[in-house]
Amino acid sequence: MSGNQQTSNTGTIVTIIVAFIALSGVIYTAIVNRETAYIPIWATQTAEARLTSIAQTSVAQTRLVSAISSTGTYTPMLLPTLASTATLSPTLPPTLASTPILSSTLTGRIAFHSSRDGRYQIYVMNGNGTNETKLSDGSGDDGSPSWSPDGKFIVFDSKRDGERRYRIFRMNSDGTKPQSLTEAAFDSNRPAWSPDGTLIAFDTRRDGNQEVYVMKPDGTDQRNLTERRSDDGSPAWSRDGKLIAFDSTRDGNLEIYKMNSDGSNQVRLTNDPADDGSPSWSPDGKQIAFVSTRDGNREIYVMNSDGTNSIRLTKSDGDDAGPIWSSDGRSILFFSNREGKFAIYVMDRNGGNLRRIGGLDDNFDPAWFMP
């Protein structure tokens, strides 16, 4: 064999070997790609690379979360804005599948009444239960507080100065300058400020039975909305101010109804042999929380705003009452004696993540102002 032929054969063999190696690489790559076809790309990155990728696709975004301390205090924590130029630590984001329903950040202020000093008086505390402060100091009983939409005023019912009847009062949110809005000749209770601040709904016995009335914030232009011979009370405004839910005995036992804000189109929502009362609208108007004795004691339920799909949220040996939605619709505030004395509690809108707010001091009727 000549030298030229030997060189040619050697070149052919080398070419075949190179082609075989290349083909093997293609096959290997195809196998790897097939096996990793359902693995998200961030799963094959380093921790720093994953956070960098997240940062680059989340520029100028923030998230508000709740940091829970070992003492049970809920403190709002604002995560910093992520940017591609930020210095990132190798910490992985939480798995989305394990993220629970978001709870309300316990901010704002909660007004309530308490008998801790012998008489019922109005108190306020921070949304996380700290800094409980007494506002009213009447000689009688004060209760059922409701915030004005701007948080500057609180209306409440009061039986003070030796009077035998409850009147509706308004005061500044710091407790100063209490002013009577209704007469003392008949009981007036449970005021509820309209979302636009122009009206206050309340129930009163001025007509012999209990009716739902509205009036202006200065106490003028008081009008009967329900006009029935039954007892109607506990008015609650929808967030858009177009509807009022209330409870009534007009069909025998206590049930929940709704009506237009002018009193027209009164419609029954619940129909149960047990008592259903104390309605509270969700901010989006799709649900109503309420209290029912249908399972024996008083428990918190929620239903669609047309009365369908009632679901029990609480379960205790005590009594749960006074549900109030947070302004973001994520949580429900209520009071309960499940620990012996009445106290204020909060839970997620589905009944989970229940915890107490404030002390065990016989606290009732919370009203939550969240600006």
How much is the pTM?
A: 0.72
Same domain, residue pair 26 and 125: no
Same domain, residue pair 313 and 365: yes
Which helix (H) or strand (E) segment holds residue 48: the answer is helix 47-57
Least confident of 103-117, 124-138, 193-207: 103-117
Residues 135-180 have pLDDT tens digits of 998 778 999 999 999 999 999 999 987 788 999 999 999 999 999 9
Q: What is the mean pLDDT of residues 93-107?
A: 49
Residues 11-33 have pLDDT tens digits of 555 455 545 444 444 443 433 33
Same domain, residue pair 65 and 209: no
Which helix (H) or strand (E) segment holds residue 209: the answer is strand 209-215
pLDDT band at 1 (very low <50, low <70, confident <90, very high): low
Same domain, residue pair 286 and 152: yes
Looking up residue 302, the CATH number of its domain turns out to be: 2.120.10.30
Please state the domain count of the chain: 3
- Give Rg (Cα) of the chain: 31
Which helix (H) or strand (E) segment holds residue 15: the answer is helix 3-35
| Domain limits for position 7 | 1-32
Q: Does residue 323 form part of some domain? A: yes
- Sequence-distant (≥ 6) Cβ neighbours of residue 327 within 8 angstroms: 108, 283, 368, 370
Same domain, residue pair 208 and 93: no
Q: Does residue 45 form part of some domain? A: no
The larger pLDDT score, comparing residue 93 to residue 15, is at 15
Same domain, residue pair 172 and 302: yes
The larger pLDDT score, comparing residue 356 to residue 24, is at 356
Percent of the chain with pLDDT over 90: 67
pLDDT at 54: 29
Residues 20-71 have pLDDT tens digits of 444 444 443 433 333 333 223 323 333 333 333 323 333 222 222 222 233 3
Same domain, residue pair 249 and 314: yes
Question: Is 298's pLDDT higher than 90?
Answer: yes
Residue identified by tokens 């070992």 is 70
Cβ-contact 256, 224 below 8 angstroms = no
